[in-house]
Structures are given as C-alpha cells and as structure tokens.
Structure 1
Amino acid sequence: MTTFSSLGELRAAVGADLGTAGPITLSQERINGFADVTEDHQWIHIDAERAASSNFGTTIAHGYLTLALVAPFLEKLLVVEGVQATLNYGLDTVRFPTPVPSGSDVSATATLEEVIDKPGGAEVRVKMTMTIPSSTKPVCVATVVMRIVE
C-alpha cells in the first residue's frame, strides 16, 4: 500500500508505481451473484455445461465484475491521509483485453498518472492494470478518476 500524508505529497508523486494488490478470486459463486445483482444472466457467465463447449472452455466473469474490483484494489493501493473524502468520479478508458475464466485469481498494479487541482481538492487519475496468472495479456486496463476533497 502506498500512503501519502497529504494531498501535497500525492501531487509530488505523479508517475509513481503504487504497487500490487490481490489476488481476488472470481469464483463461480461470485460470478453467479453478480449475474443476479445486475440481471445479466448470459449463458457464458452462468451455464458451466454450455460454456465448457465454447471457445473459452469454461464460464467467464462479466467484464463489469472485473472492473468492479477497482474499488477494493484501490483501497489497498492508495491512501491519502489528512483529506475529508476520496470519491469515485469516473473512468476515462476501460478495456478488457482478455476474458477472466471462472476461478481465476485477479491481481492489480497501479500508477499515479495525474493530479489536477480543483476547488476544494484535486482530481486524481490512476491507471489500473489487472492480470491473471494464466494470461500474458491484462484482463482489464482502466484509467480511474477520483476526486479528493481536502
């Protein structure tokens, strides 16, 4: 975990590697739960028998489930002390270069890309790259935008 004692210290660290977090296992139970919550029951995510005969050979996690791991990974990778709040503001880019087979362990690395001063705080951009051991390609690459309130 990278901890910054202030927003000023964070500003000075643009370009820094924030480390690695994880793994988080995307079990079939977790995938099924996500399907229920989002009402996305596409067979490739929940029908193990049918998915076994697909090109993937197994069920795969929803891309948005993989993306949802941004929150717990960032919680472990970036802490700014002495601020009122850190809020999700959005995403600039999101790509899913390769699917996540059920049961995969997902890990993430992060880089602090930009800190832009805003009234009452700053807008912070962090590039997250999520990977699984069975692939040379990332499973998700996203530029996460946060607002930090001083």
Structure 2
Amino acid sequence: MTVSVQDYKAMVGSELGVSRWFEVDQKRIDTFAECTEDFQFIHVDAERAADTPFGGTIAHGFLTLSLLSAMAYELFPKLEGAKMGVNYGMNKLRFLAPVRSGKRVRGRMKLLDVTERNPGVLQSTYEVVVEIEGEDKPALLAEWVGLAYV
C-alpha cells in the first residue's frame, strides 16, 4: 500500500497489521548461529538444551529480532516519493519469552509517532510485538525507530 505523507501521519496511533507466520526451526537457528558465531548450547545442542528450563533448543533473541525486517516489509506502508528507508534503532527492547525450535512467530505493529527530523526526513516510531503461536506471552516487545527519506 502506498500512502501520502499526510495520510501516513494520520495513521499515528493505528495498528498497521499482523504479519504472516514465520517458522523458527532448528535449521534457521543453526544458520543464524553460523552467521553470528553464537553457538551457545541452548541454541544448537538439543541434548544439552533438553536439560534446561526450556526443555530443548531455543532461537537466539537476536534471530527473533532480525525477523522484524521481513515482517515490516509486509506491514509498513510505502510512502509516496520515498527514496529509501533505514533502520535507526530501538528505543526499548525486551525479550519476554523464548522461541522454542519448531515454533512460529509473527509481528504485530503499531505506528506510535511520526516527526520530521529534517526537510525530507521522517522519523517513525513503531510498537512491535512478536507473538509466538499458541503461547500467551510474546517473544519480544520493542519500540523501533526508522527513517524515511522523501
């Protein structure tokens, strides 16, 4: 969906939607471990992880966080005249529940604020919740900031 800057600003306070489900299987976890060189056993050693409170391997928190980009492609509206958008970081981020290997997650995003930082640069702040299928507690809660160059 493409919207004008004016219509985008009018969306402040609105939920942008809910993404599709993303499977977080052991292959994805192992691939992430290779990319980041984070081989902590709770992520990659099913036998040892079985003896933890998690009962098996879990995704890296940063793996779950990294899926926000794919979720955002589905949910964030495109701004008319936008040349590019960039990740500006997080104001807040909490990992609330582990994502066990084999589970699916999805993102729920809300537009909290839009401000013009400089002429042609919009700063957007989003509330992001990553839900775990079949669980009450979300995997993470974040306040994400992005810049759009229009």
Separation in 2, partners of 1:122, 1:15 = 16
Moved over 6 A (4+): none
Query: Do residues 59 (structure 1) and 57 (structure 2) align?
Result: yes
Tell me which residue corresponds to 2:16: 18
Residue 112 of structure 1 and its aligned partner are, at CA, apart by 0.3
Separation in 2, partners of 1:22, 1:104 = 13
Separation in 2, partners of 1:87, 1:8 = 20
- Matched position secondary structure for 2:147: strand
Separation in 2, partners of 1:59, 1:28 = 8
Q: How many residues align?
A: 148
Tell me which residue corresponds to 1:99: 98
List runs of 5+ in structure 1 lacking aligned partners. none
Paired letter, 1:39: E
CA-atom RMSD, angstroms?
1.0
Q: How does 1:1-150 map to 2 (within 5 A)?
A: 3-82=1-80, 83-119=82-118, 120-150=120-150
Separation in 2, partners of 1:53, 1:134 = 23
Between 46-55 and 60-69, report the one with greater CA deviation.
Answer: 46-55
* TM-score, length basis structure 2: 0.95
Residue 108 of structure 1 and its aligned partner are, at CA, apart by 1.1
The answer on whether the counterparts of 1:10 and 1:80 sit within 8 Å (CA) in structure 2 is no
Separation in 1, partners of 2:61, 2:13 = 27
Residue 104 of structure 1 and its aligned partner are, at CA, apart by 0.7
- Matched position secondary structure for 2:93: strand
List runs of 5+ in structure 2 lacking aligned partners. none
Identity among equivalent positions (%) equals 36
* TM-score, length basis structure 1: 0.95
> What whole-Å deviation, never above 9, does each CA across 1:79-121 have from its counterpart, x for those lacking one?
2232111111111111111100001100111100000112122
